[in-house]
Homo-oligomer: A and B are copies of this chain.
Amino acid sequence: MQIQPLSDRVLLKGVEPENVTKGGILLPQTGNKERPNLYEVVAVGPGKRDKDGNSVTIDLKPGDRVLSGQYSGDEVEVDGTKYRIVAFDYVLAKVS
């Protein structure tokens, strides 16, 4: 089962602590819920479409790691894994 975001949305999956490399960002998952968290991009929507069929480019691709608010967008759960579907405008930064 595949989830393909519509319009300008992206599908994000939380990054497990053991997958964060040394010197990495402090994940505030257990602490401050108001800070953005680290996510991995799973799928990217086509962008908002105008009537000519053109779309605004979304500067992200699957595999990118991003910072996004812990309450931005909507949460869905597939086979026990939690995802967030978030509008691109609410994704704050790319992390590399």
Contact = CB atoms under 8 A, between A and B. Distances in A.
Interface of A: 1-7, 9, 11, 21, 23-26, 28, 35-36, 45-47, 49-51, 53-57, 59-60, 66-67, 69, 74-80, 85, 88-89, 91-96
A6 B92 contact: yes
Given A25-B78, A50-B51, A56-B49, A1 B92 contact: no
Given A57-B51, A59-B49, A35 B92 contact: no
Given A36-B76, A36-B85, A75-B35, A95 B4 contact: yes
The number of times this chain is found in the oligomer is 7
A67 B3 contact: yes
Given A2-B95, A25-B76, A7 B49 contact: no
